Structure 1
């Protein structure tokens, strides 16, 4: 629809109009300074605006992707309560994912879980408040291919994935092994969800 066109707001619709994109995530914290330091480091980002109460962090062409609100009365996260499980960030290649892993490792940010889910190869971290963050690369070239895998018997048998060692993948890429081959999930049969609250 062009900007000058007038929408028919009363036209029946089979479903709600989907958003164009996900804009940002806002987290409340009692440790604003520590969280700002973590997220700018973790994302290779910068603070667009910040004060003693709020901080807006960007790492791409959006004015902010993460906002942090400092509320001193905020209680510690309860890993067993309902709510947001994790925030995921995508990289363009397996090499980029692993380079960012090494950059974080050099800054004492260690992953808590490395897993090939099948549709993605993923490395998980926790922020200082215990919020889980996923960094990932898509394992398939198209959404249709990823959807087909997610409808396969292998995925139905194990929708969690297969753990991997990030350093072993770095060594394999350094030897010249093909990323497409390295992103193919090793099938291990049925698997239960690990206890993410203890990670």
Structure 2
């Protein structure tokens, strides 16, 4: 039997947004990611926040229709942090920039803080809750995850207080089980 699978890419290189308001989106994404502008013209901009030449591109299209809320398409982008403390420090920094989360949740495999950009695109910031991919996969195959694949809401300020008081990060990453949950909050 012939191998019909495609060759897998090595990574996700970048994401491109279409907007009616390039300056506003550029300001948001630059602040949100601590990104620098690599190139900017009247109709397109490229940003980077790591060693890639660009991770975010934003195209100005003044006549582009506004996407209806809850429409079919990409739901969100996710950005990872190496520790819960770093995730929560980023959350605090964003608050000083008046960027507030729309939802905070322990999904089980990750603890996540969601945001929306000026055009309503949903963004997840997360930390992995397990030390290995195999442990995360095992959890995702468990009855706990089958019962609640959405997660349990969390308070990032409370998590940070607990960390500052000496709580073990691994213990804080353990999801509190609340039973069945089958939908995400509206607007996330």
User: Is the partner of 2:125 in helix, strand or coil?
Assistant: strand
Residue 168 (structure 2) aligns with: 178
User: Is the partner of 2:18 in helix, strand or coil?
Assistant: strand
**Cα distance between partner residues in 2 of 1:180 and 1:195:** 26
**Cα distance between partner residues in 1 of 2:4 and 2:142:** 29
Residue 61 (structure 1) aligns with: 51
Residue of structure 1 aligned with 2:70, choices 52, 74, 80: 80
Q: Aligned residues, how many? A: 187
The answer as to 2:119 corresponding to 1:122 is no
**Cα distance between partner residues in 2 of 1:29 and 1:134:** 20
Residue 122 (structure 2) aligns with: 132
Task: Within 5 Å, give how 1:29-108 maps onto structure 2.
Answer: 29-108=19-98
Segments of 5+ residues of structure 1 without an aligned counterpart are 1-11
Task: State the Cα deviation string for residues 81-135 of structure 1 (Å, max 9, x = none).
Answer: 1100000000000000000000000000000000000000000000000000000
The CA deviation at 1:195 is 3.6
User: Is the partner of 2:146 in helix, strand or coil?
Assistant: helix
**Cα distance between partner residues in 2 of 1:146 and 1:71:** 40
Q: What is the TM-score of this pair, normalised by structure 1? A: 0.92
**Cα distance between partner residues in 2 of 1:196 and 1:43:** 24
Task: State the Cα deviation string for residues 144-167 of structure 1 (Å, max 9, x = none).
Answer: 000000000100000000000000
Residue 6 (structure 1) aligns with: none
Task: State the Cα deviation string for residues 1-22 of structure 1 (Å, max 9, x = none).
Answer: xxxxxxxxxxx53511100100
Q: What is the TM-score of this pair, normalised by structure 2? A: 0.97
Task: State the Cα deviation string for residues 23-65 of structure 1 (Å, max 9, x = none).
Answer: 0000100010000000000001100111110000100000111
Residue 180 (structure 2) aligns with: 190
**Cα distance between partner residues in 1 of 2:130 and 2:155:** 20
Structure showing greater Rg: 1
Runs of 4+ in 1 over 2 A off after TM superposition: 194-197
**Cα distance between partner residues in 2 of 1:40 and 1:49:** 12
User: Is the partner of 2:93 in helix, strand or coil?
Assistant: helix
